[in-house]
Amino acid sequence: MARTHQTETGELNLLPVMNLVTILIPLLLMGVTLVNLATIDSSLPGISDEPGLDGPPPLHLSIAITTHGFRVQSEEVGLAGPSIEPVELPCAGERCADPQAYDYSGLTDALARVKDAFPDHQSVVLVPDNHVPYEVLVGVMDASRAQAERHLFPQVTIAGGAG
What CATH number does the domain containing 132 carry? 3.30.420
Cα distances from 96 to residues 64, 73, 92, 125, 139, in angstroms, run 14, 20, 7, 21, 14
> What DSSP character marks residue 46?
P
Number of domains making up the chain:
1
**Cβ count within 10 A of residue 124:** 24
Residue type, 62: S
Domain presence at residue 5: no
Q: What pLDDT, on the 0 to 100 scale, is given for residue 22?
A: 93
- Interval 70-106: pLDDT, tens: 989 886 555 455 667 888 888 877 667 778 888 888 8
The DSSP string of 135-153 is: HHHHHHHHHHHEETTEE--
Q: Do 75 and 60 touch, CB atoms closer than 8 A?
A: yes
Average pLDDT, the chain: 78
Domain presence at residue 38: no
Domain presence at residue 65: yes
Domain region containing 85 = 61-158
- Interval 115-130: pLDDT, tens: 888 888 888 888 888 8
pLDDT band at 48 (very low <50, low <70, confident <90, very high): low
Task: Please tell me the least confidently modeled range out of 1-5, 25-29, 83-87, 115-119.
Answer: 1-5
